[in-house]
Amino acid sequence: MNLVDGQPRDAPQTLRVTEGDEVVIGWTSDRPVDLHLHGYDLRASPEPGQPAEMAFRARASGRFAVEAHGAGEHRHRPVLYIEVYPK
- Dihedral pair phi/psi, residue 41, rounded to 5°: 50, 50
Query: From CA 68, how far away is CA 85, in angstroms rounded?
Result: 24
User: Count of domains in the chain?
Assistant: 1
Question: Residue 81's domain is classified under what CATH number?
Answer: 2.60.40.420
What type of residue is 8? Answer: P
pLDDT for residue 86: 97
pLDDT along the chain (87 residues), means of 10: 86 93 96 93 94 97 90 72 96
pLDDT for residue 75: 62
pLDDT for residue 76: 74
Q: Which domain covers residue 26, as residue numbers? A: 2-85
Query: From CA 73, how far away is CA 85, in angstroms rounded?
Result: 32
**The whole model's pTM is what?**
0.87
